[in-house]
Structure 1
Amino acid sequence: MTGRVLGLIVNPLAGIGGRLGFKGSDGAYGVRALMMGAELVAPRRTRAFLEALDDALDHLGSEVRLLMPPGRMGASIVGEMHRLRHIAVEAVPCVDPRIWPTTAHDTVRCARALQDRVDLLIFVGGDGTARDILNAVDMRLPVLGIPSGVKVYSSVFAVNPQAAARVVIAFLEGRARLEERLVVDVDEEEFRRDRLVLRTFGKLLVPAAEGVVESPKTMGGGEGVEDIARFFADELYRDCTLYILGPGQTVARIAEYLGVKKTLLGVDALHNRRLVGRDLDEKSLLELTERYPRSVLVLSPIGGQGFILGRGNQQISPRVVKRVGGDGIVVVSDPEKLRGLKRLRVDTGDEEVDRMLRGYIRVLVGYGKWKMVKVE
């Protein structure tokens, strides 16, 4: 591992729109979220990755060089941390650190500046950032994404920052084979109209090790959905309870059985068979859980990836989950989708909440049929 050089580029606006219920943070929506006072997510994800990587290098007794852009795209984030013991950081002047907010052009410029100087290029962002990296480096060197975006459909990402650190170690030790992985993104305007339109933009070369997302998301809505919805309406539903309904076709069908039409891709709320909120943000969800003390969270895993929290539903924040409690979560999935998953996953950004949710959970897969599935 001696002498290996890593590159790290941070899209500081990635994921900033998640708590607000935005369907992405690209372009004007990221700036809008910034103007509304939304918290930057990517710097926190970056620090979690670097802390995990530094700890892993400590156990191995190794060191690496890390090349980063200046300012909010990299170096200033490291400057806010405690000293890294085994990572020597060097700022590469690829952008003017005084310019804020940053843009996709800055990501492309920095990726091109780093590509001939590093063994592995790591980026923090979502699918929009992955597209920028694809535009800059294509398949000329290995890359790895640390998920921070609202949309994370591509299979070029680690499942979370800590997993990314483990993948980097596997790469440095020669234990990770390189695979061509898809860069996939949605049409954000169609997404905001509650229509999911996916497009494949190309492939990136990714170190495939335990902790990298296996495949892009797939749509649910197959066998068993009608039985799941009917059983929920017949046996699980209770009046005087707030139901927070996550995205997805299975949950939308449950809502129809309860007499309402929910958004397909948003988070809605139901009370006494009446919608009390559509396409909600974190603030609205917290207000509703305050108004209605009894609450249940209904979630369906993302096909191909298995996430029940932390991807595409960031408005269901750790604060909302704590209000509901682990016993107030109901997970539903059509059997076909569940057969394609080895496990379910959570990545809320709050380690305490993630620990609370890990273990085994019952998943409703038919009329009165449940399956125990591990959550990691």
Structure 2
Amino acid sequence: MKTKTSFRLGVVVNPYAGIGGAVALKGSDGAAIREKALAQGAEQQAADKMSRALAQLQGADNLIIYTASGAMGMDSCEQAGLSADVVYTPQTAQTEAEHTQQAVRAIVEKGIDLLLFAGGDGTARNVFDELGATQVVLGVPAGVKIHSGVYAVTPSAAGKVALKMAQGQLVSEFDAEVRDIDEDAFRQGNVTAKYYGEMRVPRELEYIQAVKMGGKEHEELVLDDIADYVSEMIEQDDETLYVMGSGSTVAAIMDALNLDNTLLGVDVIRDRRIIASDVSAKTLLEITDGQPVKLVITLIGGQGHILGRGNQQLSPAFIKRLGKQNMLIVATKQKLQALEGRPLRLDSGDDALDETLSGSVQIITGYQDKVLYPAV
């Protein structure tokens, strides 16, 4: 029987979450996509992200952890230096949605206080299909596409919320949306996030991600001003490679340059010409090696993420080589105001790098118009 001081934590990882991001496949759903990603040299990172979350719990002495074997959870626990009981072992090496659900079922049967799961929107749907709103859960962001509100803003943030709960601090809960998009449509540049239901999530708004804003920006004149200003900068600098991130604000700049754009991918241009389109993380490192480089990115509306959401092609290795001074962040003031004072979020996959990039960052908000805004 559970004692009053114990905190029972469930841990489950979708080992293949996010595997398609760095190789520009824009998703990880389906065996065929995972096989293609692995063949292109993609690395499984979900277990490492869960270990970053669990590392925040090393000071808790009242933990009882239940998890699945290997990459589905136990590897992360061991990497974080935490002991755990394995209550589920998949029968196949390559896990599918049903294995996530079976693991969740076995873990929840132990009477846990919180389920931590690592994945993306597809994983959130798997957990929702199994649990609905019967269990307090919290997602560790590890997927390519994360539109759901059940995820923490970073892996470390998820661990901090779990630690608060384990320490008995007052943490209320709320119902957060589970959303997912059609990956095939996503690869064609169409984003429509469908609502699937709600799950119970700890209410620590500093650490929990907001649901992504839908629709396109309607501030056409402001976007034109941003596009004109940045496109002029690019046109006057024909020696530098410009890496153009995803999103409609960056797309407006590409339109101003009369260049085709990968709306939900990463392109590279120089001297007003496209050098490479929809690049992977590996290709981006190869193309930019030894070259002068600047990065043009925007933030996700409603969430504030500038790294780690839909742009995993921008690897920690690339960002380190680039340097904070060569990041051009573009956004309308309306997009910033919609954050209601919340900082921009950095989730590059490297905590030390995120710390280096944190602080006040300059954001281009119009023609020769810039503001300073905090990033963490």
Quickly name the TM-score band, shorter chain normalised: over 0.9
Question: Within 5 A, what are the aligned runs for 1:187-202?
Answer: 187-202=182-197
**Matched residue, 1:344:** 344
1:203 offset after TM fit, Å?
0.7
Matches within 5 A, 1:336-375: 336-341=334-339, 342-375=342-375
Q: Is the 8 A contact 1:220 1:248 kept in 2?
A: no
Shift of 1:241: 1.3
Contact 2:234 2:272 in 1 (8 A): no
In the alignment, is the contact (CA less than 8 A) between 2:212 and 2:302 conserved in 1? yes
Comparing 321-330 with 136-145, which one deviates more in the overlay?
321-330
**Equivalent of residue 207 in structure 2, options 208, 211, 214:** 211
**Residues 289 and 219 (structure 1), Cα distance of their counterparts in 2 relative to 1, 3 Å cut:** farther
Q: CA deviation at 1:319?
A: 1.2
Distance, in Å, in 2 between the alignment partners of 1:40 and 1:91 is 21
How far off is 1:83 after superposition? 3.9
Q: For residues 249 and 361 of structure 1, do their structure 2 counterparts lie closer, same or farther at Cα, with a shift above 3 Å needed? A: same
Structure 2: which amino acid aligns with 1:367?
A: Y
Question: Matched residues in 2 for 1:103 and 1:259: separation?
Answer: 42
Between the aligned partners of 1:82 and 1:232, the Cα distance in structure 2 is: 43
State the partner residue of 1:178: 173
* Correspondence for 2:45 among 23, 26, 41: 41
- Contact 1:19–1:314 under 8 Å retained in 2: yes
Residue 15 of structure 1 corresponds to 18
Q: Deviations over 1:45-65 (max 9, x none)?
A: 12111211113x2xxxx3110
Q: Distance in 2 between matches of 1:158 and 1:327?
A: 28
Residue 247 of structure 2 is matched in structure 1 by 248
Distance in 2 (CA, whole Å) between partners of 1:92 and 1:265 is 39
Q: Aligned letter for 1:336?
A: Q
Structural mapping, 1:46-125, within 5 Å: 46-55=50-59, 57=60, 62-79=61-78, 81=79, 83-84=81-82, 88-93=83-88, 95-96=90-91, 99-116=92-109, 117-125=111-119
- 1:176-196 CA-partner distances (Å, limit 9, x unpaired): 211000111111000111111
* Sequence identity (%): 37
Whether the 8 Å CA contact 1:4–1:64 is kept in 2: the answer is yes
1:343, CA displacement in angstroms? 1.4
The yes-or-no answer on 1:151 pairing with 2:145 is yes
Amino acid at match of 2:299: P
**Aligned residue number for residue 30 of structure 1:** 34
Question: Structure 1: which 5+ runs fail to align?
Answer: none
Q: Deviation at 1:138?
A: 0.3
Task: Quote how far apart the aligned CAs of 1:308 are.
Answer: 0.7
Give the SS at the match of 2:335.
Answer: helix
Give the superposed CA RMSD: 1.6
What one-letter code is carried by the residue in structure 2 that aligns with 1:124?
A
Query: 1:226 is aligned with what amino acid?
Result: D
**Alignment correspondent of 1:331:** 329
The CA distance in 1 between the partners of 2:321 and 2:152, in whole Å, is 28
Which residue identity does 1:272 align to in structure 2?
A: D
Match of 2:270 in 1: 271
Q: 1-side partners of 2:264 and 2:25: how far apart?
A: 11
SS at match of 2:317: helix
Unaligned runs of 5+ in 2: none
Counterpart of 2:211, as a letter, is: S
Partners of 2:9 and 2:160 in 1: how far apart?
Answer: 14
CA deviation after TM superposition for structure 1 residue 234, in Å: 2.9
Task: Tell me which moved more, 136-145 or 157-166.
Answer: 157-166
Instruction: Output the CA distance in 1 between the equivalents of 2:187 and 2:57.
Output: 36
Q: Which moved more, 1:108-117 or 1:244-253?
A: 108-117
State the shift of 1:220 in Å: 4.7
| Matched AA of 1:260 | L
In the alignment, structure 1 residue 129 sits paired with structure 2 residue 123: yes
For 1:303, the aligned partner's letter is G
Contact 2:234 2:271 in 1 (8 A): no
Q: Whole-Å Cα distance in 1 between the matches of residues 21 and 218 of structure 2?
A: 28
The total of aligned residue pairs comes to 364
Output the CA distance in 1 between the equivalents of 2:353 and 2:7: 35
Change (3 A) 1:83 1:170: closer
Counterpart CA distance in 2 for 1:245 and 1:194 is 15
Deviations 1:122-173 (A, max 9, x none): 1011110000000000001110000011111111011112111111122332
| 8 Å contact kept, 2:54–2:80 | no
Cα distance between partner residues in 2 of 1:37 and 1:285: 14
Shift, 1:352, TM fit: 2.8
Instruction: Identify if the C-alpha distance between structure 1 residues 262 and 331 changes in structure 2 by more than 3 Å, giving closer, same or farther.
Output: same
Asked whether the equivalents of residues 49 and 142 of structure 2 are also in contact (C-alpha less than 8 Å), the reply is yes
Scaled by the length of structure 1, the TM-score of the pair is: 0.93
8 Å contact from structure 1 (residues 184, 216) kept in 2: no
Letter in 1 for 2:255: E
